[in-house]
C-alpha cells in the first residue's frame, strides 16, 4: 500500500492549472452555440496563484504559480510542501500536452522552448463524452462526463470530467470553464485522495528566499544574507539577480557588480554547470586588487551555485573565458562553490 501511495504523490505533482476568477464565483455554462474548446476549460493566465486543499495524503495540498507564458505554451510551478515541480504545457491543434516535467526544481528558468519529445496529453478535443486517448501502454485517458457539479472550498462549478484509468487505480480530473482544474480525485482500492481549489489570487508574484554573498575586503571574508526575491510571470531571472547583487545589505560590504554592469545571460546547462555572462564593464568598473577580485568572483559563484543547486559556475565576459590582470580562465574552466571563508551577516 505504501508503494501505491508514493505513486499518488507523483500523480498530484502532475496536476496543472491556469486561469482566474473572483472568489466564490459559481461557474455557469457558456452561452453560445459554438463548440467548447480547451481555451474555455484551460485558459492561460499570468501572475496568478492557485491554492488547493488536500485530503487523504500530506502532499495533496499544493499551490501553483505561472512562471512563464509565451504564445501557446505555459510554464507552471507547483509546490506541495515537500518539493517543487515545473511543467511546460502546450495548447496546439485541439490538444493540451505536457511537454516537459522537472521535479525538484527550486530555481527559476524559462523552459518553454526546451521541451522533451515525449509529451503527455491532458485534454483533447472534441470536448465531449467518449473522446479518449492513450497516455502509456497501461493507462488510458478519456472524457467521461460533462456538466458534472463539483463543490470546492472556493465555490460550486459545472465541470468537464476526465478519467485516467490504470490497472490498479484511477484518477478523476474536473475542469471548469474560465478557470481550469478545480478538483482531482485519486482512487486506489479503498483509499481516496482529493485536491480541491480553495483560492485564486491575482497579480501575485512567486517569492523565493535566496542567499547572497558579498565581500568584506577589510576582514578578508565573505558575508551571506538571505534576500526575498519576487518574480512575476515572464520576469527574467538574470534581471532580478542583477538588481539584488547591486543592493548592498550593509555599507561595510563591497560591491559585487558595478553600477553599469548587466547580466547578459544566466542559465543552468545540461552539464550541471551554471553559466553567467557579463559585459566588459564588469572588469572596467571593478577597480580591485587580486584579493578583492577573487572575493567578488567567489561571491558570484557561491550565490549562483547554491541557488541552482550545483557547485560549479563558469563566468564569461561577452562570451569569452574570464580574463583579467589577476585571473585567466581557459575555455570550459569553472569556479567552484566554497563557503569556508564566509560568515552569516548579523
pLDDT in tens, 195-204: 999 999 999 9
Mean pLDDT, the chain, as a whole number? 90
Closest-CA residue to 266 (of 230, 303, 295):
303
CATH of 2-202, one of 1.10.287, 2.40.360, 1.10.1660, 1.20.120: 2.40.360
- Reported as a single tens digit per residue, the pLDDT across 214-231 is 999 899 999 999 999 999
**Nearest to 266, CA basis, from 310, 225, 233, 223:** 310
Half-sphere exposure of 123 toward its Cβ, with a 13 Å CA cutoff?
Answer: 30
* Residue pLDDT, tens place only, 257-297: 999 999 999 999 999 999 999 999 999 999 778 899 999 99
pLDDT the model gives residue 337: 98
Q: Report the candidate in 210, 299, 209, 284 with the shortest Cα–Cα distance to residue 254.
A: 299
| Residue 300: cis peptide before it, omega within 30 degrees of 0 | no
Q: Is the pLDDT of residue 1 over 80?
A: no
The closest alpha carbon to 155, from 185, 173, 182, 175, belongs to 182
Parallel, antiparallel or unpaired: strands 120-124 and 62-70: unpaired
The pLDDT tens digits for 128-183 are 999 999 998 789 999 999 999 999 999 999 999 999 999 899 999 999 999 999 99
Q: Does the pLDDT at position 209 exceed 70? A: yes
Determine the pLDDT at residue 232.
98
The predicted structure's pLDDT at residue 212:
98
Closest among 207, 200, 202 to 53, alpha carbons compared? 200
Q: Is the pTM of this model over 0.85?
A: yes
Q: What pLDDT band is residue 33 in, cutting at 50, 70 and 90?
A: low
Kindly list the domain boundaries of the chain, sorted by start residue.
Answer: 2-202, 206-344
Enumerate long-range contacts of 60-66, CB under 8 Å, 24 or more apart. 60/12, 60/193, 60/194, 60/195, 61/195, 62/12, 62/13, 62/15, 62/195, 64/15, 64/16, 64/17, 65/204, 65/206, 66/18, 66/233
* pLDDT (0 to 100) of residue 268: 97
Sign of CA dihedral 126, 132, 135, 139: positive
Alpha helices in 33-172 (DSSP H): 38-41
Residue spans of alpha helices (H) in the chain: 2-13, 38-41, 237-246, 281-284, 290-308
- Residue 14 pLDDT exceeds 50: no
Amino acid at each position: 500500500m505504501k508503494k501505491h501511495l508514493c505513486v499518488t504523490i507523483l500523480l498530484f505533482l502532475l496536476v496543472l492549472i491556469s486561469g482566474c476568477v473572483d472568489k466564490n464565483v459559481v461557474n455557469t455554462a457558456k452561452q453560445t452555440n459554438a463548440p467548447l474548446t480547451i481555451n474555455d476549460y484551460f485558459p492561460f493566465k499570468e501572475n496568478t496563484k492557485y491554492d488547493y486543499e488536500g485530503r487523504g495524503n500530506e502532499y495533496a495540498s499544493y499551490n501553483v504559480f505561472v512562471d512563464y507564458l509565451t504564445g501557446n505554451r505555459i510554464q507552471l510551478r507547483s509546490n506541495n510542501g515537500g518539493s517543487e515541480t515545473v511543467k511546460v504545457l502546450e495548447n496546439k491543434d485541439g490538444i493540451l500536452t505536457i511537454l516537459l516535467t522537472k521535479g525538484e526544481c527550486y530555481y527559476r528558468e524559462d523552459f518553454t522552448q526546451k521541451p522533451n519529445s515525449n509529451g503527455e496529453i491532458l485534454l483533447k478535443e472534441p470536448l465531449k463524452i467518449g473522446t479518449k486517448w492513450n497516455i502509456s501502454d497501461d493507462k488510458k485517458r478519456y472524457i467521461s462526463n460533462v456538466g458534472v457539479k463539483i463543490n470546492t472550498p472556493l465555490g460550486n462549478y459545472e465541470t468537464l470530467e476526465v478519467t485516467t484509468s490504470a490497472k490498479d487505480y484511477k484518477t478523476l480530473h474536473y475542469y471548469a470553464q474560465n478557470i481550469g482544474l478545480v478538483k482531482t480525485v485519486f482512487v486506489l482500492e479503498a483509499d481516496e485522495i482529493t485536491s480541491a481549489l480553495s483560492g485564486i489570487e491575482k497579480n501575485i508574484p512567486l517569492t523565493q528566499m535566496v542567499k547572497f554573498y558579498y565581500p568584506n575586503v577589510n576582514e578578508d571574508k565573505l558575508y551571506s544574507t538571505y534576500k526575498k526575491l519576487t518574480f512575476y510571470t515572464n520576469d527574467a531571472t538574470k534581471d532580478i539577480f542583477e538588481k539584488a547583487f547591486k543592493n548592498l545589505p550593509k555599507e561595510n560590504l563591497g560591491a559585487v557588480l558595478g553600477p553599469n554592469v548587466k547580466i547578459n545571460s544566466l542559465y543552468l546547462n545540461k552539464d550541471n554547470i551554471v553559466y553567467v555572462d557579463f559585459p566588459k564593464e564588469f572588469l572596467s568598473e571593478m577597480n580591485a586588487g587580486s584579493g578583492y577580485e577573487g572575493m567578488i568572483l567567489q561571491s558570484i559563484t557561491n550565490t549562483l551555485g547554491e541557488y541552482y543547486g550545483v557547485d560549479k559556475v563558469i563566468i564569461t565576459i561577452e562570451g569569452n573565458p574570464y580574463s583579467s590582470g589577476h585571473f585567466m580562465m581557459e575555455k570550459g574552466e569553472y569556479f567552484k562553490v566554497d563557503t569556508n571563508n564566509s560568515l552569516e551577516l548579523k
